[in-house]
Amino acid sequence: MRLTSGARERLRRDAAGWFARLQGAASEQDRAAFKRWYEADPAHAEAYERVRARYNSAGLLAQTEVGRNRSLKERTLRPAWSGKYAMAAGVAALLVISGAVLLGRPEALMPSAEAQALFFATSIGEIREVPLPDGSQMTLDTRTSVRVEMGRDLRHVTLQEGRARFAVSAEDDRPFVVEAGESRVTGRDTTFDVELRDGEALVQPIEGTVSVEATSRRAETAPVRLAPGQAVLVSSGGARMQPRQTGRAEALWPTGMIEFDNTPLATAIAEANRYSRGRVSLADPALSRLRVSGTFRAGDLQGLARSLEAAFGLRLEHAAGQQLILHSEPAARAADP
């Protein structure tokens, strides 16, 4: 039986949840339950092996504490697959409808003749899954806010800031539209990520295809259709909208892990800082040119900083207010003239 996008996304989450749990202090009961889940369906085994291959492909950080310790028990994130690995987490985000405040009531999204506007937001370090009544699922990354409109002829989401993944149900004739900055993304029976940062929207399909168009009146670019392994950046004004090959079809952030692939150190640190109230910084601007590959547990700035210190021979300073500063020379050499 062909799985819907929502079902495939839930399967990925279950697989990632099992993988994370088994890297920690899993009990014999946990391992027995995993074995039953793994052998119950070939799709389970395939999803799990895909997750394991992605994590084990880490480069530099795979040999460090960040790469080895993938237990999530100390992390500050609250992923959608935590707890009993529920197939669909309840809506924990705050919803506001016509001035009324509702908590944990996704049924309030049920479509009516007139579209209802709802707002969802995550705070620092949160990753949340929101099930939608049409069968679609929306996953919000840290520091993300969206506006959702569901009506009889309408499925419309406005990404106001942050990043979100959308697993769009196939059993619906209404187009599923996501607007972010000056971009509009349309898809059916597909899974895709949209990130809005500094006014620019980055769109990347995970499964299926999507259509992306620039909405600015100044835009002179035609809509583009993207497939997995491709991405497009829609800049302010729509002047830049050239699809590029990413070399991979899926980012790991919904699982609570973030991966780097030959990423400049400054970029990697900026991404890591998004998930914590603390901050890692570089004392020497020249360090920003170093390159990092591997996976790390989002929210674990201490672990990341210690691993970078060991990998590059740096000196880690613990400053006030959860500030971690990486210096280019070890402590023993820092006093040399």
CATH number of the CATH domain containing 312: 3.55.50.30
pLDDT band at 7 (very low <50, low <70, confident <90, very high): confident
> pLDDT band for position 334 (50/70/90)?
very low
- Distance, CA of 163 to CA of 140 (rounded, Å): 6
Residues 6 or more apart whose Cβ sits within 8 Å of residue 122: 93, 128, 140, 141, 142, 143, 144, 145, 162
Note whether 234 and 148 are same-domain residues.
yes
99/232 same-domain check = yes
Same domain for 278 and 212:
no
Q: Answer whether residue 314 is part of any domain.
A: yes
- Backbone φ and ψ of 309, nearest 5°: -60, -45
Structural tokens at position 94: 């705050």
pLDDT at 41: 86
- 187 found inside a domain: yes
Give the relative orientation of helices 28-40 and 5-23 as an angle to the nearest 10 degrees.
150
| Cβ-contact 182, 238 below 8 angstroms | yes
Question: Does 80 map to a domain?
Answer: no
Residue 255 has pLDDT above 80, yes or no: yes
Select from 85, 87, 141, 145 the least CA-distant residue to 258.
Answer: 141
On the question of pLDDT at 268 being above 80, the answer is yes
Tell me 73's DSSP state.
T
% of the chain exceeding 70 in pLDDT = 72
pLDDT at 237: 67
Q: Domain range holding 313?
A: 256-334
Task: Provide the pLDDT for residue 216.
Answer: 81
237 and 109 in one domain?
yes
Rounded distance between C-alpha atoms, residue 148 and residue 184, angstroms: 14
Is 221 part of any domain? yes
| 85 assigned to some structural domain | no
Residues 103 and 219 in one domain: yes
Q: How confident is the model at residue 252 (pLDDT cuts 50, 70, 90)?
A: confident
What pLDDT is attached to residue 85?
A: 29
164 CB-near residues (< 8 Å, 6+ apart): 138, 139, 140, 141, 144, 146, 157, 178, 193, 194
Are 146 and 235 part of one and the same domain? yes
pLDDT at 77 over 60: no
Are both 37 and 128 inside the same structural domain? no
Average pLDDT over residues 111-140: 83
Of the listed ranges 14-23, 51-60, 98-107, 319-328, the least confidently predicted one is 98-107
Per the structure, the count of domains in the chain is 3
pLDDT tens per residue across span 281-292: 999 999 998 999
In a domain, 330, yes or no: yes
pTM over 0.85: no
Together in a domain, 175 and 298:
no
Task: Give SS3 for 85.
Answer: coil
The mean pLDDT value for 74-101 works out to 30
Structure confidence at residue 183 (pLDDT):
92
Domain contains 82: no
Is residue 88 a part of any domain in this protein?
A: no
CB 242 within 8 A of CB 232: yes
Are residues 237 and 309 part of one domain?
Answer: no
The confidence band for 240, taking pLDDT boundaries of 50, 70 and 90, is low
Q: Look at 333 and 165; give whichever has higher pLDDT.
A: 165
pLDDT of residue 102: 33
Q: Are residues 260 and 241 in the same domain?
A: no
Domain with residue 208: its CATH number is 2.60.120.1440
| pLDDT tens digits along 173-198 | 788 999 999 999 999 889 999 999 98
